[in-house]
């Protein structure tokens, strides 16, 4: 294997991913996003900005028989996603602002995305260009949300994980036909503010807005030692591929 790559196990080894040794490396966030998608076998799923395929391949490991497509603008990461997914994952190397015509003519049961978290203009750039592209927002978050909504079929779902402080921006960006909105805050420890949110919206949905009780990720009120401190429910998601129901 190339010395610039590592092979990393997700879901207790059910998913094996080649990742850059230096650069953006998938962590818990895409796994939690994947766990929250209530997909069923035979449905189609699109992952916008799929990176090396962490989120969509974790979803595919939990729900067999999905028709899976990922879009990734960085050629090296798209190539790794293709290698990681093999025949089960269609990878389209493209910028979400310039999707190929055949993809723009398709719609999906579920569209998932983990957009870049940080304003690139407001932070000091790191040395690794691949990581900067993955975490630094160039395409506005509102554009990610609107493009995801366009690719969802009638009664289809959009799923987004992002920083909690950007929730108002996501809600403002959702088109009027996206309803049945549910938000799950993710907080690192009891008594802490939520740092992340997972949002789910349904095209043509009419159910009332739901703000769920936060999911606490780690045991204890503070970090006391290195090691795995996830609460049992989260550990089951990350290690065993359990669903994150809400």
Taking alpha carbons only, the member of 78, 49, 245 closest to residue 160 is 49
Answer for the pair 214, 185: CB distance below 8 angstroms, yes or no: yes
pLDDT, position 58 = 98
- Residue 118 forms beta bridges with which residues? 136
Residue pointed to by tokens 């799929």: 50
**DSSP string across 30-97:** HHHHHHT----TT-EEEEET-TTSHHHHHHHHHSTT-EEEEEESSHHHHHHHHHHHGGGEEEEE--GG
- Please state, in angstroms and rounded to a whole number, the distance separating the CA atoms of residues 62 and 45: 13
- Please state, in angstroms and rounded to a whole number, the distance separating the CA atoms of residues 158 and 96: 15
pLDDT, position 124 = 59
Question: Which residues of the chain carry a pLDDT beneath 70?
Answer: 1, 119-137, 223-227
Tell me the per-residue pLDDT of 161-182, one tens digit each, with 9 for 90 and over: 999 999 999 999 999 999 999 9
pLDDT, position 77 = 97
pLDDT, position 221 = 74
- Please state, in angstroms and rounded to a whole number, the distance separating the CA atoms of residues 208 and 230: 31
Tell me the per-residue pLDDT of 123-169, one tens digit each, with 9 for 90 and over: 455 564 544 544 456 899 999 999 999 999 999 999 999 999 999 99
pLDDT, position 3 = 82
Answer for the pair 157, 202: CB distance below 8 angstroms, yes or no: yes
């Amino acid at each position: 294997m190339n010395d610039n790559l590592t092979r990393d196990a997700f879901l207790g080894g059910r998913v094996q991913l080649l990742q850059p040794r230096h650069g953006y490396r998938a962590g818990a966030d895409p796994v939690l996003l994947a766990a929250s998608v209530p997909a069923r076998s035979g449905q189609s799923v699109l992952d916008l900005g799929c990176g090396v395929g962490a989120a969509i391949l974790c979803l595919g490991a939990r729900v067999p028989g999905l028709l899976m497509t990922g879009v990734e603008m960085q050629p090296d990461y798209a190539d790794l996603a293709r290698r990681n997914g093999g025949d089960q994952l269609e990878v389209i190397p493209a910028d979400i602002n310039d999707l190929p015509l055949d993809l723009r003519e398709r719609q999906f049961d579920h569209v998932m995305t983990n957009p870049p978290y940080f304003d690139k203009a407001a932070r000091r750039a790191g040395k690794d260009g691949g990581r900067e592209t993955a975490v630094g927002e160039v395409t506005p978050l509102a554009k990610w949300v609107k493009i995801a909504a366009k690719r969802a079929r009638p009664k289809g779902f959009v799923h987004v994980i992002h920083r909690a402080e950007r929730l108002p921006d996501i809600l403002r960006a959702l088109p009027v036909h996206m309803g049945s909105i549910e938000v799950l805050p993710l907080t690192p420890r009891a008594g802490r503010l939520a740092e992340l949110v997972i949002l789910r919206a349904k095209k043509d949905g009419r159910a009332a807005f739901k703000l769920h009780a936060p999911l606490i990720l780690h045991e204890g009120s503070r970090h006391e030692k290195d090691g795995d401190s996830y609460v049992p429910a989260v550990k089951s998601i990350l290690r065993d591929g359990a669903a994150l129901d809400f």
